[in-house]
Amino acid sequence: MFFADVLETEGLGNRSHLAGGARAAVVVDPPRDIDRVIAAAARRGVRIVAVAETHVHNDYVSGGLELARLTGARYLVPAGADVAYARVPVADGDVEPVDEDLVLRAVATPGHTPHHTAYVLEDAGRAVAAFTGGSLLIGGVGRPDLVEPRLTESLARAQHASAHRLAAALDDEVALLPTHGFGSFCSSAPAGHTHSTIGAEKASNPVLAQDVDTFVKELLAGLDDVPAYYAHMGPANARGPAPLDLTPPRRADAAEIARRLAAGEWVVDLRSRTAFAEGHVSGSFNFEVDGQLATYLAWLVPWGRPVTLLAATAEDVARAQRELARVGIDRPAAAAVGTPADWLADGAEPASFPRSTFAGLAAARARREDVVVLDVRRDAERAGGWIDGSTHIPVHQLPRRLAEVPPGTIWVHCAGGMRAAVAASLLDAAGRPVVAVDDGFAAAAEAGLPLATAPAEATAEAVEAPEAVEAVEAPDA
């Protein structure tokens, strides 16, 4: 008998896996915070004897090296990966014992990276699960453009071949257990389901139904923006990440918060967008702890800039600290808990800005107010329709493009409210009058706001030019 447990890292859209038998187990693509993995193994009553990486990750810092060190497990890393630490190099066909009658077989699956390797769990000689990392995913494949632009097309072709190799070699009932595809930007398309099998993918996954030329053309046409912090993840994983330190950060008082803001550091308010709009420390930025905190903060903050966290509770600080460590923001410079009254220097007043809806925006336009509509969605979202006359700057580009926002009161929106809140805080910190539209974009048409769309010929041209098209992101909260 075998088991295969999923360890989700929802904020990043990734999954790690703990799989084994009665006494021993292997961990595939572990997260940075390995205490979760050790606890899961303890609940199962198994010893971790192997830690396997499908590739050198580009989207998060791996905990594999430290997990192997702490448990004494063999650390399996694809032989083609250029890393600076001792590991067990694995090549196509290599077999790693896990437990009685249970082995892990390496399958070379280049595409997401040149050295990508999937692992097939075999129970008494029968394949039962495939840990496919960023190769064959649920409803798609991992993107091939994260390594080197000049390799993107060749890696896309390799990705097609790897997916077909897995489908041909494995029985339909084999469980498909990928690392990416649940909101991760490493995936070329969002997953439609949370569980799948090889047979289910044969019936529905486009990569297994398309010829290689069609697949490559459509895959390259749908590639999304790459989060800026990805540039730092691969090198960190190749060097060997340092052990994680989750001890509480030093506490900052109001005077220190003011000094850090004056020095140009980032002070991040983790409270809800509603609470932030009602009152906050002037110059601070709002990244909700319940949103995609790690992805968007790591994407927007200048890399290496000190970050101070403000939160309602110590638990929220600890949660944010854990999430940020997963993407290489290891130690907050400081933290403070409470309310704006606790964080403001003597004599300072809290800043605030209004929130509204698309109906409120329509009413403001009808009153002929000096309204600037700023759309901070990404390109592919906007391609499906936008408010006529709006300015478009994706939120991840806003810090360097603030000067492009026209004068007037800025009504900022996204698809659901979270990114609009981030953008509103950036604009507010820059001294711009802003209204955060906290509403789903479908309500824009319902409110009677005029919508525009790209002409059909422009859409066709965009398909021919991959750099002009982006995949639709998972809707934000």
User: Rounded CA gap, 431 and 412, in Å?
Assistant: 15
Q: What is the pLDDT of residue 454?
A: 79
pLDDT for position 278: 98
What's the pTM value of the predicted model, to 2 decimals? 0.90
Taking alpha carbons only, the member of 24, 167, 29 closest to residue 98 is 24
CA distance 3 to 21: 6
The H or E element spanning position 64 is helix 64-71
Mean pLDDT for the chain overall: 93
pLDDT band at 189 (very low <50, low <70, confident <90, very high): low
Indicate the helix (H) or strand (E) that contains 78: strand 74-78
In this predicted structure, the answer to whether residue 466 has a pLDDT above a threshold of 60 is no
For 250, 382, 435, 446, the CA distances from 451, given in Å and listed in that order, are 49, 11, 20, 11
Look at the block and give the residue holding tokens 């190099």.
89
Task: Please give the average per-residue pLDDT across 265-288, as a whole number.
Answer: 98
Q: Does 277 score more than 90 pLDDT? A: yes
Please say if the pLDDT value at position 460 is more than 50.
no
Give the pLDDT score at 190: 63
pLDDT at 61 over 90: yes
* Beta pairing class for 434-437 and 409-413: parallel
Q: How far apart are CA 183 and CA 42, in angstroms?
A: 28
In terms of Cβ atoms closer than 10 Å to its own Cβ (0-12, 13-18, 19+), residue 209 is exposed
Q: Nearest CA to 13 among 196, 177, 180, 226?
A: 180
The pLDDT tens digits for 386-420 are: 999 999 999 999 999 999 999 999 999 999 999 99
Question: What is the Cα–Cα distance from 144 to 151, expressed in whole angstroms?
Answer: 8
